[in-house]
Structure 1
C-alpha cells in the first residue's frame, strides 16, 4: 500500500470501530429504539453505513459481495428499510453483516490502487466516474457522519460520550461540572436571543 492509501484505510478502520463501539453494552431495545423524530437508532445507522460501504467499495469497482446483507434485496417500495432493525434481525446478525462488508471492502482497498477507476451507477452520468481515492474519502466522511449521529443517540440513551473507550476527547468533569456547563450554555443562548 502507498502511504496515502494506508493512512486513508486506517482512518476508515478507526471510524468503523468508533461507530460499533457506540453499540457496546446495550440491550436489544436500546439498540433499536428511535431517538429522534425521524427514527434515528443505533442498529439502523450500522445497517445503513454497511450498505453504503458495500456499494461504494464493492459494486462501484465491479466487485459486488457474493453474500451481500439481506436488506439489499428488501422491497424498494418500503422506505428506509436500511435505517432500522426488524424483529427478525438480531443485533449480532447486523453487526456480523457489517463486519463482512469490512472484509470485502478491505479486500477491494488492498487489491486496487488509489487511481483505480470505478463507476457509481446510481449517480448522474456526469459524476459517475470515480477513483478508489475518491470513494475512500467519501466512505471516511460518511462513516464519521453517521458515527456522529451514533454519538448523540448513545448519549441520549445512557450518557456515554466520546470517541472510543480509551479516549473520549471531552474535558474531565463530574456530573456537577457538566450540569453547570450546560446551564452556562443555556444562559448564553437565552441572552443571545433576548429571552
Structure 2
C-alpha cells in the first residue's frame, strides 16, 4: 500500500503545478501545521489560556473546524438546516472548550471537516461563484485563498501558544 504524502511537503511538490494544485497544497500544509501544534499535548495543556484572549490551542482547532464547515460544505454545498455563521455571531463561543473537547476529539473533528471540505471543493472549478451573505458573491478561488490566510494566521497563533506551552517551535 502506498504511503500518503506528508502534507508539509505539498507546497514543494506542487512548485510547478497548476493553480489548483498550489492552492490545495498550501491549504493542506497549514492544516497539517495546526495539527502538529496540538498533537502530543495533554487536554489541560491544549486548553490552557496563555494570552489575555480566549485563544487556546484547543480553541484554535475547534474554531478552524467550524470555519472549514462554514466555508466549504455550508457555502458551496449546503444541506437542509445549514446556516452560514457570520463573523459577528458569538465568535468567542467558537473558541470555548468544554469537557467533551479533548485533543483527540478536536483533532478527529478537524480532520473530518478538512476531508469533507476537500471532497466538496473538488467538485467546483476555481471560477465557480456562489452567493455569500456578507460579501455578495465569492469564487472558489477566493474561498481557497481566504482559507489559506485564515488557517495560516491561526497556525501562527498556535505556534506561539505551543512555544509558550513547552518551548516547541517551527512548522515541522
TM normalised by structure 2 equals 0.81
- 2:138 is the alignment partner of 1:130: yes
8 Å Cα contact 2:54/2:92 also seen in 1: no
Query: Given the superposition, is the C-alpha separation of residues 49 and 109 from structure 1 closer, same or farther in structure 2, using an over 3 Å criterion?
Result: same
**Cα distance in 2 between the residues matched to 1:81 and 1:9:** 28
Query: Given the superposition, is the C-alpha separation of residues 98 and 113 from structure 1 closer, same or farther in structure 2, using an over 3 Å criterion?
Result: same
8 Å Cα contact 1:44/1:82 also seen in 2: yes
- Unpaired runs of 5+ in structure 1? 165-195
Stretches of 4+ aligned residues off by more than 6 angstroms: none
Write the deviation string for residues 114-144 of structure 1: whole angstroms up to 9, x where unpaired: 01111222x1xxx220110000000000000
Tell me the residue number matched to 2:114: 102
Match for 1:28 among 39, 43, 47?
Answer: 43
Shift of residue 52 of structure 1? 1.0
How well do the aligned residues superpose, as a CA RMSD in angstroms? 2.1
Query: Given the superposition, is the C-alpha separation of residues 92 and 129 from structure 1 closer, same or farther in structure 2, using an over 3 Å criterion?
Result: same
Number of residues paired by the alignment?
A: 151
8 Å Cα contact 1:114/1:131 also seen in 2: yes
Tell me the residue number matched to 2:56: 41
**Cα distance in 2 between the residues matched to 1:149 and 1:26:** 16
Q: Return 147-156 or 47-56, whichever deviates more.
A: 47-56
8 Å Cα contact 1:54/1:64 also seen in 2: no
